[in-house]
């Protein structure tokens, strides 16, 4: 656990900061198909992308954004702490290490299909230098109306005080869409990632907003596979987490031992079953929605109970 890691300070900043609400971001892999199309969308949303990095393509320019060969070169011109990584999975480990070595503190790791061994190594490497990885296989992070680093469409999200943490991309959009429609805006939506290894796991995500006065409730979108939800339920219980939490678990009807799209979404025996997660949440008194559409009401009643 990294107790002093303040994600809002990185993404939003403080009022007295010169670049408050305009924190600079670089994109590793900006010249790829995926990297370039999403760079355009992030920029349109208001994310301040100061540079792109693609080895061998330094000196080029992507729609007004300068491309560098390395982060070291970028750092000569910009003080930047956030990187969106769009490189192919096989190059992820090197890209993450380069980012950590050059002062990047928040690495948003988009690529899918990163080998487990590389993910573990990257996460350990980042931890040792007090940097944080979100992902891999994450849709990214959005602070509505301030910044988005990732591939999420912006339409489902609206500004507010709920935090959404999701192991699935489209479900994060779907759930945020339902929340927004019900008037429950989001302070942050963060994709944990669909892989077995997450740079920021659910508990660490909760730590990010635990003491934030701007967050009044949390929605956890989990799915079958692994034991992240079970561990989170224990954490909520053991540490007396006070903000109201609502959970949703996808894959109740999924068969065992079949990988359901995400590398991490697979049940072995009872390990990773939806039932195991749901009963652990029940022990922690966290309501579990049966359908995404039920979530806003559960959040609103949680907030109302809190206010009493």
**Catalytic residue positions, numbered:** 262
Using CB under 8 A as the binding criterion, the count of chain residues that bind another protein stands at 60
Contacts to another protein from residues 110-149, by CB under 8 A: 113-117, 120, 123-124
- Using CB under 8 A as the binding rule, whether residue 68 contacts another protein is answered as no
Given the complex with another protein, which of 23 and 38 has the nearer CB atom? 38
255 near another protein (CB under 8 A): yes
Verify binding: residue 106, another protein, rule CB under 8 A.
no
CB of 295 to another protein, least distance (A): 11
Select from 268, 282, 283, 304 the one that contacts another protein (CB under 8 A). Answer: 268
CA distance 244 to 242: 6
SS (H, E, C) 64-112: CEEEECCHHHHHHHCCCCEEEECCCHHHHHHHHHHHHHCCCCEEEECCC
The distance of closest approach from Cβ of residue 277 to another protein in the complex, given in angstroms and rounded to an integer, is 13
| Interface pick for another protein out of 17, 256, 285, 301 (rule CB under 8 A) | 256
Q: Is 290 in the site for another protein (CB under 8 A)?
A: yes
60 by Cβ neighbours in 10 Å (0-12 / 13-18 / 19+) ranks as middle
For another protein, which residue of 10, 89, 182, 237 counts as binding (CB under 8 A)? 89
User: DSSP of 106-144, one letter per residue?
Assistant: EEEE--S---HHHHHHHHHHHHHTT-EEE-SS--EEEET
The kind and range of the H/E element at 281 are: helix 274-283
By DSSP bridging, strand 24-28 and strand 61-62 are: unpaired
Kindly list the strands in the beta sheet with 106-109, ordered across the sheet, starting from the edge strand earlier in the chain: 61-62, 65-68, 48-53, 24-28, 82-85, 106-109, 132-134
Say which DSSP state 255 is in: P
Q: Does 150 bind another protein (CB under 8 A)?
A: no
Nearer CB in complex with another protein: 23/262: 262
CB 110 within 8 A of CB 150: yes
Task: Identify residues 196-225 at the interface with another protein (CB under 8 A).
Answer: 196-197, 201, 221, 223-224
The residues binding another protein (CB under 8 A) are 89-90, 113-117, 120, 123-124, 151, 153-156, 166-174, 177, 194, 196-197, 201, 221, 223-224, 226-228, 231, 248, 250-265, 268-270, 290-293
């Amino acid at each position: 656990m990294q107790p002093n890691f303040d994600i809002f300070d990185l993404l939003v900043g403080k009022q007295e900061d010169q670049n408050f609400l305009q924190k600079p971001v670089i994109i590793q892999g900006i010249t790829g198909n995926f990297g370039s199309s999403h760079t355009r969308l992030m920029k349109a949303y208001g994310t301040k992308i100061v540079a792109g990095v693609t080895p061998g393509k330094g000196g080029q320019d992507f729609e007004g954004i300068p491309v560098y060969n390395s982060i070291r070169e970028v750092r000569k011109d910009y003080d930047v702490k956030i990187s969106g990584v769009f490189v192919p999975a096989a190059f992820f480990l090197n890209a993450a290490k380069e980012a950590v070595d050059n002062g990047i503190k928040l690495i948003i790791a988009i690529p899918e299909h990163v080998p487990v061994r590389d993910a573990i190594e990257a996460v350990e490497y980042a931890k040792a230098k007090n940097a944080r990885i979100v992902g891999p296989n994450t849709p990214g992070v959005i602070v509505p109306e301030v910044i988005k680093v990732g591939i999420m469409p912006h339409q489902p999200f609206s500004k507010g005080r709920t935090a959404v943490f999701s192991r699935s991309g489209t479900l994060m959009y779907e759930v945020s869409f339902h929340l927004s429609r019900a008037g429950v805006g989001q302070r942050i939506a963060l994709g944990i990632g669909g892989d077995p290894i997450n740079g920021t796991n659910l508990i660490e995500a909760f730590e990010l907003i635990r003491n934030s006065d701007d967050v009044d409730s949390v929605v956890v979108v989990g799915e079958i596979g692994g034991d992240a939800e079970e561990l989170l339920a224990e954490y909520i219980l053991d540490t007396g987490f006070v903000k109201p939490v609502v959970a949703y678990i996808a894959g109740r009807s999924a068969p065992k031992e079949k990988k359901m799209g995400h590398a991490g979404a697979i049940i072995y025996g009872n390990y990773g079953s939806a039932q195991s997660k749901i009963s652990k949440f029940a022990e922690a008194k966290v309501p579990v929605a049966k359908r995404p559409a039920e979530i806003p009401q559960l959040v609103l009643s949680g907030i109302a109970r809190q206010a009493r």
